[in-house]
Amino acid sequence: MLDNLIENLKKELDIADLVSSEEPGHFTLNFEENLQINISQVEAGYLLFCAVAPCPKKNTEMYYNLIMEANLFGQATLGAVLGLNEEGSTLTLSRELDYNINSKEFMDTLEDFVNVADFWRKKTSEF
């Protein structure tokens, strides 16, 4: 099913050259030089994931409070979740999708996801 969603996405947006796959059920969309969205098929559905930006070295307490507030009701993330990588050095964004998603919903959700990643990349650079 994910293969079909990705194929429809490539055709609809004419982005075949931006999509790569190293293994079945895992795709990478290279929207910009430093923005890669990983899409994987997981047990519960699909997972969108990306590394947003390196965490700031200054004003970290204020930054982490801002991130926690953004996650509180999902309004500042449009339903995605901000987190940190294992080392705590990079802000990440992830979102799980249900299997029962159609191509239109998938594209809309992906667009929101990219917009949120871009927003938080800019917000992080302000620190």
- Taking a C-beta distance cutoff of 8 angstroms, is the pair 112, 78 a contact? yes
Which CATH number characterizes residue 113's domain?
3.30.1460.10
- Cα(87)–Cα(100) distance, integer angstroms: 34
Does residue 38 have a pLDDT over 90? yes
Does residue 117 have a pLDDT over 80? yes
- Cα(25)–Cα(38) distance, integer angstroms: 11
Q: How many domains does the chain divide into?
A: 1
Which residue would you say has higher pLDDT here, 73 or 39?
39
E strand segments, the chain:
19-23, 26-32, 35-42, 45-54, 81-84, 90-98
**pLDDT (0 to 100) of residue 91:** 96
Question: pLDDT (tens digit, 9 = 90+) per residue, 10-20?
Answer: 888 787 778 88
Question: pLDDT (tens digit, 9 = 90+) per residue, 45-56?
Answer: 899 999 999 999
For residue 37, give its domain range. Answer: 2-125
- Cα(43)–Cα(123) distance, integer angstroms: 32
Amino acid at 6: I
